[in-house]
A and B are shown apart, each in its own frame.
Chain A
């Protein structure tokens, strides 16, 4: 039974990939087998999104806030998450243990980035139910403006240069604006603050040392 399931799954994957490839195919021109195999290989190779997953691997202590009623303060609980990469850096696996409404709560999740469809996909199961939650979407700062505020300490610009590169590679914001305070010793002047406030969806400030 397991072998049959595997065969069916493999067939489904191949059909999905073939369908997607067919869309890219030029009319009247067949993709040769070697080119197709190269493409399969490329689609199966971890990329930048998987590096981001890998950066989350490790042991985490979690703090969870639950808002049960509007206007009421949240209840807070702590827990832990063990996260590790699976299958040579292709998937991020998570085991989560905490409290939910005063009861022990455990969950397991697998995060993926589907190179073919260019979407993040998560499968999640936990002790609150018997369903498998499937979630997917994109991680993007499309259209957002992120301001990088240099506080004018030496070498902070090197750190912000790299942060800017990573944002462009991984988050694709609408715009990145670089600003610099005249001095780290005082708050930014009011006009600079106002300009940042009016233009920014998020701010990254660095580097105090």
Chain B
């Protein structure tokens, strides 16, 4: 989260992908760093038991939101 907030602070649009279990911690960390409106892109948890193809499917489902994060005004 430190890196995402750092890049955003420098004016670089950043999409940070986290699993749903980690969303709350990610937002709390970002808020502690002064980024209270930080919104990660979330994918379903857990990740580690998934196959390669299942992880790739998560990317397919999240892609529109990733693009939205990078292109928001």
Contacts and interface: CB of A to CB of B under 8 A. Distances in A.
Interface of A: 52, 55-56, 146, 149, 151, 153-155, 158-163, 166, 170-171, 181, 187-188, 193, 196-197, 200-209
A158 B52 contact: yes
Contacts of B14: 202-205
B28 interface: no
Contacts of A55: 61, 63-64
Given A205-B15, A208-B19, A209-B46, A158 B56 contact: yes
Interface residues of B, number: 37
Contacts of A188: 3
Contacts of B3: 149, 151, 181, 187-188, 193, 205
B15 A204 contact: yes
Given A159-B55, A187-B6, A205-B17, A154 B64 contact: no
Given A166-B63, A187-B6, 10 more contacts: A161-B56, A162-B56, A187-B3, A201-B13, A202-B70, A203-B7, A208-B40, A209-B21, A209-B22, A209-B48
A203 B7 CA distance: 8
A201 B12 contact: yes
B50 interface: yes
Contacts of A187: 2-3, 6
Given A158-B52, A158-B56, A171-B67, A205 B19 contact: no
The interface residues of chain B, by DSSP majority, are classed as: helix
15 contacts: A55-B61, A153-B47, A159-B56, A162-B59, A163-B59, A187-B2, A187-B3, A193-B6, A201-B12, A203-B4, A204-B17, A205-B3, A205-B14, A207-B19, A209-B47
Interface string B35-47: 0000010010111
A62 to B, nearest CB: 12
A-B pairs, 3 with minimum CB distance: A162-B59, A209-B19, A206-B17
Given A166-B63, A181-B3, A197-B12, A208 B18 contact: yes
A55 to B, nearest CB: 4
B17 A208 contact: yes
Contacts of B40: 208
